[in-house]
Structure 1
Amino acid sequence: MTDRPKKPKRQQVYTLLVEVGRHPNDGLPEGSTGAALMCYASGVDEAEAVRETVAILKQADLAPLDVSGYGTLDERLADGHDISDEERALMGRALEENAVIVAQMTPFYDDA
């Protein structure tokens, strides 16, 4: 049995939805209880993309609570997602810059 060399993994961009809670100096709107952040993050796998995203959000004084992964561009297309040119451009930027791009922030408010 011959050991074949492992194919080097390549960077891909993953779409992540991150829920954040409040933290001092987080920059979220006054009165909000947290927010949902739509992010595009590069990584060799989704786990790396999640780790990098959480680390960067913590550096920005945000408090990540939960991360939902929606896969790569190809995976999302296979699932029937409609992906705009703007979204594709942000994914391309995340890949080119090996970065985490926060594309959208939706604050949460208590209705009480």
Structure 2
Amino acid sequence: MSKENTPKPSKDAAAKPKRAQDVYTLVVELGRREGDGLPTSATGAGLLCYASGVDEAEAVRETVAVLKTADMNPLEVTGYGTLTEREAQGLEIDEEERALMMRALEENSVIVAQMTPYFAEDDET
């Protein structure tokens, strides 16, 4: 086989080394939208999510995109960091939460771990 027939690596592949994925803990505040699946009397909801990404910005973008395709109305996203960052803050992470984070990493996905609907009477306290 001659050198002329040997495939050359693309410039894009050489210029952009693949960055490692991590999992980020995010809390997403939802507003109402028709067909969102929230209880009828809810004014919105909060979601605890674990999302994979090469950085937190990518994890947020992917989470918002997934929620929008599910007819949800994400209003605000707050990031709480990676597992390593949270442990460095002295937070205890239980085995169930670790398992969900590992699942998000393995599946390169967004996992909604908890949903808390908000109701009008909650706002009055």
TM-score (norm 2): 0.83
Q: Deviations over 1:1-54 (max 9, x none)?
A: xxxx87642000000000000000000012000000000000000000000000
> Paired residue for 2:49, among 35, 39, 43?
39
Question: In the alignment, what sits opposite 1:15?
Answer: 25
Give the secondary-structure state (helix, strand or coil) at the position aligned to 2:90.
Answer: coil
Q: Which amino acid aligns with 1:59?
A: T
Aligned length: 108
Question: In the alignment, what sits opposite 2:4?
Answer: none
Please provide the CA RMSD for this pair.
1.3
TM-score (norm 1): 0.92
1:61 correspondence with 2:76:
no
Select the structure with the greater relative contact order (CA < 8 A; seq sep ≥ 6): 1
Larger mean Cα displacement after TM superposition, 5-14 or 71-80:
5-14
The structure richer in helix per residue is: 2
Which whole-Å CA distance do the structure 1 matches of 2:74 and 2:33 have between them?
10
Which whole-Å CA distance do the structure 2 matches of 1:39 and 1:8 have between them?
24
Unaligned runs of 5+ in 1: none
Q: Quick one: percent identity of the two aligned structures?
A: 67
Question: In the alignment, what sits opposite 2:118?
Answer: 108
Give the secondary-structure state (helix, strand or coil) at the position aligned to 1:75.
Answer: helix
Q: Which has the larger radius of gyration?
A: 2
Question: In the alignment, what sits opposite 1:81?
Answer: 91
> Paired residue for 2:104, among 91, 94, 109?
94
Misfit runs of 4+, over 2 Å: 5-8
